[in-house]
Structure 1
């Protein structure tokens, strides 16, 4: 047999089983010769991140287009026609490890550092390369074996698929030092690319072939708190697929109030015996800004105790997570799969096509949200509270017979998160609207130009159909130090609801009436009087406005 001199990536790491089924089962690394040449592997070495290594025996060879399996179990090697037992085979860590293949001269032919993102993180299940010609250290080019045996040692991988898809921009972030980091859907080759941000061409500051799914470019002159686009011409991946014009939005730092809690499913439907998909707890976030916001390093926590300590829930990963301008983002808990498209939540609400970019998983069976009421905090890496809600089951629509499996939704996402009048039950048949506009969403309307009050809509129809169910009472005042007292009367002068009593007013704002009495009963169709009083007892100032509003019903 005629042998050729090996070059880096001629032979690649193609399959790894690092998480044993039991203590007696094998670990292995499969190598694949992706060329038309034959190679002598005598005295080649395989090593891990700690430099533990084993040497391949004299006479080992690998023909063109063939596989060889290196393993720590003699019995497993004997079961394969192309298996080799290595007595010093380095033990592969379940949590992640390096694998380095060197030829007899000590030249690295292929290497990678795998993590759970590569797949294969179930006992006895290997992780495999999708396209052998793709980058070995790109986790997007790997996934768990799908065969019944749990591996494809010595033969073509069960998930083999040639990469014919060009790379995309999946994330971009304006860093605090003013530079822009851009992440891609796979490892890329930037040798023929031009990168622009904010309409100006940018120079590359940092790009490494070992982490070729991201690049840092100069961001001088970019303005914060406004929409920024990044564009790249002739973006190529490792196997040569080219995107002639890739683009994305540059996300910016999260700040208090820029992202708010918008929907909460705290009491999901779950029945193991009904043969139907189950709900899972989720929290939906909403971006109140007109620019993208990075959600890297955020976490959930409860209310601080007397020692200012919190219980926090960290996501599996927040890397490259962001929320679109005026867009939605899901935080959910499941421990059966790390692929959102395969989650119970996606199956129940028909979200299988939803991108993982706009979801964040907590690796546990639930978020531990109480059905009677609880506190939810969203915090950044420094512990700063971005938004918080102290919800209560009484915030649900009192006219619903049952609220099991029904999410609480905000009426106005930009309104206060802890105002119970700004929340109510979802009217969607499925029980919620994750990643979509809330079923009870209403624009609050504009405050009057001069001192006074206005209503949106008027008439309104509180019939729980998700359309014009709530009345927004919008106001403008001449001073910011008033306190508000707002009451609703029927046409006979009887008080039916008190919306505010001592609430700070500010110069302008809005209040929401659900059309119900203070006892949660429905009011009759007809004319109602809104008495709006703004007072400052210390200064001896007060303003009073009285207007009518109509409750209507559909015929």
Structure 2
């Protein structure tokens, strides 16, 4: 028998044997090494013999490493000198997941010799479960007290099993009829023997001539992508690292070769390939010259087709293309809010796993399920989790929990990737409908050109579909609407002594915007050390300075170029002047114009002006209103940085669109700021201005009586400050001129007057005035410059015949410099007649008893 096996080992079919042991060396501890219950076995006459404890129900095992699993032949000889029963049998493991064959969690395949029925059978064991027969052998094959058998088991590369045995111990094999398919286990660590016996049979099991042969080349089972550029190549058996780890042995159908090939440390049948570019949606992998562990080479090419995995979306891949924020009145769509998302890629399937949808005003986000995906070019509807059934008729629908409530008037929506990066952002407004009827509800907002996804109002409009929208499909308003304009620099603000924020007209390419060399401060100015684009819309860039700025010291920011998010690049941009803001004190910033009684369907506004030499940050400042009953309400003017330069004015309103419509020629959009709301100003009340800490900066006690009494209506007419540096008193305000449209939001006041010049004690300006509210000499001012404080004054107007026309002041204490105005009306509020008038000025100093009296002439005229 030993000579026969020795010759077999030199046959060509056995040249690739992974294991061959006939124990001719007299041991089982080397060539190969068997481990386990070594004390329970011995080699006797060049045969492996059991030698365990003489105890009933003893179990012993011995194994040796072997990774052969498929395209393999296993052979062994055995002699069981026992009457086989359920308590006396031997299991010869062909494929085992663990070297310890007695472990209850062991998995794989084994041949059972004996047991109930005295069979030679092939079993499969699934971890802790009871083994099941794969090939159930013939009854009573092993039924004597001296059972001699040689077994051969073959598993093809197609996972078909054959069990053969020769009950004489020779090689005249007889096959069992069944040849089943079973591909459950593809990996192995060991082969070996497991014995279960009674006390009298402890030395009655004999084994010899173990041979495991793999003469088949490996096959490519499948290719499994793990991301957009990596794929796991799975072979049907373990492969050799030397050949499997060569990138040149693989390629895609496009000809691309991987940049790396790494054999798995946990599964030697798997090789991970990494490529330099994303896979196509459908791809084919080719493998050549890959060898198994036994030298069998697959010349190839072996091929495996695969579908690329859904890729995590990059910026601009996944967008919101439709917004249905106001569902009533119903036009045709369901009465539920929805958003439409769109995969802009024509080649990539996008995985929505971990993608989050929300509003920048909230910390709660809706997360898509791990299985959510969008095919190239596909649209999907996103709605509340309880509203999915309302939209299934339109196409793919996702209903994540925490779907954000959409504000009818406008909101800022954002999509973030699972790594937190911004994928898409839009700050929509109901002005984007461009249609007063559709703005009232029932119609969706649709993106016009999805290739211009960074644009705002210019690329959105109301749906034209008769149902009110196009959920789940291409938009009804789709058209080419490319962005051909490069970004401009709007302004710059010093957030603190070493940080300057630059504001741009549109969304920037965040990577390009982070280039420090694009920015500089005009000499002499500190160097810029860092540029950090500000998400989520990237319209701002925070610049870090090497040295600190000085308060209210103007600096100039220059930008060499700016690139928007679709790639339009500018040249050198218009520079922006800024300075580090200072704290304001009372009177630095004052109310410059107030519209408290707007026209029907119009809105109020408040205009302020910085009359100091400081740069002042209005962040957190409030405008307030106190009614005669003492109740007050306030509105924050700006939640973010908003710096007011010396001499600069800004007007605040809840609707800039209405303001510019009401005052098209007398407003300046560059100096208008939108607020969420403004306080309600009664016809009589107090307007006040407070800083971010609530400290009062200015207060204006106003009433409708301050308006020119000759006005036909006061609706839509503002009160304007006459002199910037004058007090915030009713006497320093006048109705805006009719020629200026009755209000000048964001522009210099129509009734503004320069300070009186010269050294004269009393002057009249102008000497001829025409109170017709046309903005030209609408009132006369008595300017005074007194030689000392403490004077009280009475100013009375008389006509040319000496008749009392109007008392302007009566025993009113005056500052040393100021003015008193006459609007041309008499004591009853009627317009005085055209002609000459005398202003009698009586000054009295109570401390000294000194009296002075002056007469000034003025002409009240009329235009013809």
Question: TM-score range, shorter-chain basis?
Answer: 0.7 to 0.9
Q: Report if aligned partners of 1:71, 1:77 keep a CA contact under 8 Å in 2.
A: no
2:693 aligns with 382
1:330 and 2:657 correspond: no
Paired residue for 1:349, among 656, 663, 676? 663
CA distance 1:423–1:431, change in 2 (3 Å) = closer
Paired residue for 2:474, among 133, 149, 155? 155
Paired residue for 1:62, among 375, 393, 401? 375
CA distance 1:357–1:150, change in 2 (3 Å) = farther
1:505 and 2:814 correspond: yes
C-alpha distance in structure 2 between counterparts of 1:24 and 1:552, whole Å:
65
1:217 and 2:217 correspond: no
CA distance 1:20–1:423, change in 2 (3 Å) = closer
C-alpha distance in structure 2 between counterparts of 1:279 and 1:319, whole Å:
26
1:312 aligns with 634
1:203 and 2:528 correspond: yes
2:507 aligns with 187
Q: Report if aligned partners of 1:321, 1:357 keep a CA contact under 8 Å in 2.
A: no
1:15 and 2:321 correspond: yes
Q: Report if aligned partners of 1:182, 1:216 keep a CA contact under 8 Å in 2.
A: yes
**Is the partner of 1:406 in helix, strand or coil?**
coil
C-alpha distance in structure 2 between counterparts of 1:392 and 1:213, whole Å:
42
The alpha carbon displacement at 1:69 in A equals 1.3
**Is the partner of 2:535 in helix, strand or coil?**
helix
The alpha carbon displacement at 1:423 in A equals 1.9
**Is the partner of 1:99 in helix, strand or coil?**
strand
CA distance 1:11–1:176, change in 2 (3 Å) = closer
Q: Report if aligned partners of 1:260, 1:387 keep a CA contact under 8 Å in 2.
A: yes
CA distance 1:298–1:143, change in 2 (3 Å) = farther
C-alpha distance in structure 2 between counterparts of 1:524 and 1:123, whole Å:
56
User: How do 1:214-363 and structure 2 match up within 5 A?
Assistant: 214-218=540-544, 222=549, 224-225=551-552, 228-243=555-570, 244-250=572-578, 252=581, 256-270=586-600, 278-288=601-611, 294-303=617-626, 310-314=632-636, 319=640, 326=647, 328-333=649-654, 340-341=656-657, 343=658, 345-350=659-664, 355=669, 358-363=672-677
CA distance 1:241–1:255, change in 2 (3 Å) = farther
Q: Report if aligned partners of 1:143, 1:159 keep a CA contact under 8 Å in 2.
A: no
CA distance 1:227–1:135, change in 2 (3 Å) = farther
C-alpha distance in structure 2 between counterparts of 1:70 and 1:352, whole Å:
45
C-alpha distance in structure 2 between counterparts of 1:158 and 1:291, whole Å:
49
C-alpha distance in structure 2 between counterparts of 1:538 and 1:525, whole Å:
40
**Is the partner of 2:661 in helix, strand or coil?**
helix
- Using the TM superposition, name which of 453-462 and 420-429 deviates more: 420-429
Q: Report if aligned partners of 1:170, 1:320 keep a CA contact under 8 Å in 2.
A: no
User: How do 1:23-62 and structure 2 match up within 5 A?
Assistant: 25=336, 27-34=338-345, 38-41=347-350, 44-48=353-357, 50=364, 53-55=367-369, 57=371, 62=375
What's the CA shift string for 1:186-235, capped at 9, x where partnerless? 23324251232686354155624534322333575655457654332212
CA distance 1:140–1:206, change in 2 (3 Å) = farther
The alpha carbon displacement at 1:457 in A equals 1.7
The alpha carbon displacement at 1:147 in A equals 3.9
The alpha carbon displacement at 1:418 in A equals 1.8
The alpha carbon displacement at 1:353 in A equals 9.1
What's the CA shift string for 1:411-449, capped at 9, x where partnerless? 334433323363236334854343344443433422x33
C-alpha distance in structure 2 between counterparts of 1:353 and 1:485, whole Å:
38
Q: Gaps spanning 5+ residues in structure 1: where?
A: 271-277, 335-339
**Is the partner of 2:573 in helix, strand or coil?**
strand
Q: Gaps spanning 5+ residues in structure 2: where?
A: 1-280, 283-306, 329-333, 358-362, 434-438
**Is the partner of 2:688 in helix, strand or coil?**
strand
Q: Report if aligned partners of 1:479, 1:507 keep a CA contact under 8 Å in 2.
A: yes
Q: Report if aligned partners of 1:171, 1:182 keep a CA contact under 8 Å in 2.
A: yes
CA distance 1:224–1:501, change in 2 (3 Å) = farther
CA distance 1:218–1:282, change in 2 (3 Å) = same
Paired residue for 1:419, among 730, 746, 764? 730
2:753 aligns with 442
Q: Report if aligned partners of 1:231, 1:248 keep a CA contact under 8 Å in 2.
A: yes
Paired residue for 1:91, among 379, 403, 407? 403
- Using the TM superposition, name which of 421-430 and 471-480 deviates more: 421-430
TM-score by length of 1: 0.76
C-alpha distance in structure 2 between counterparts of 1:353 and 1:433, whole Å:
5
The alpha carbon displacement at 1:14 in A equals 3.2
CA distance 1:117–1:201, change in 2 (3 Å) = farther
The alpha carbon displacement at 1:155 in A equals 1.6
C-alpha distance in structure 1 between counterparts of 2:523 and 2:697, whole Å:
27
Q: Report if aligned partners of 1:322, 1:358 keep a CA contact under 8 Å in 2.
A: no
- Larger RCO: 1 or 2 (CA < 8 Å, sep 6+): 1
Structural RMSD (CA): 4.3
C-alpha distance in structure 2 between counterparts of 1:33 and 1:496, whole Å:
77
CA distance 1:353–1:269, change in 2 (3 Å) = closer
User: How do 1:450-489 and structure 2 match up within 5 A?
Assistant: 452-489=761-798
The alpha carbon displacement at 1:124 in A equals 6.3
How many aligned residue pairs are there?
A: 522
Q: Report if aligned partners of 1:140, 1:185 keep a CA contact under 8 Å in 2.
A: no
C-alpha distance in structure 1 between counterparts of 2:390 and 2:520, whole Å:
49
CA distance 1:554–1:296, change in 2 (3 Å) = same
**Is the partner of 1:164 in helix, strand or coil?**
coil
CA distance 1:53–1:226, change in 2 (3 Å) = closer
C-alpha distance in structure 1 between counterparts of 2:775 and 2:614, whole Å:
28
The alpha carbon displacement at 1:156 in A equals 4.9
C-alpha distance in structure 1 between counterparts of 2:400 and 2:421, whole Å:
20
TM-score by length of 2: 0.52
**Is the partner of 1:440 in helix, strand or coil?**
coil
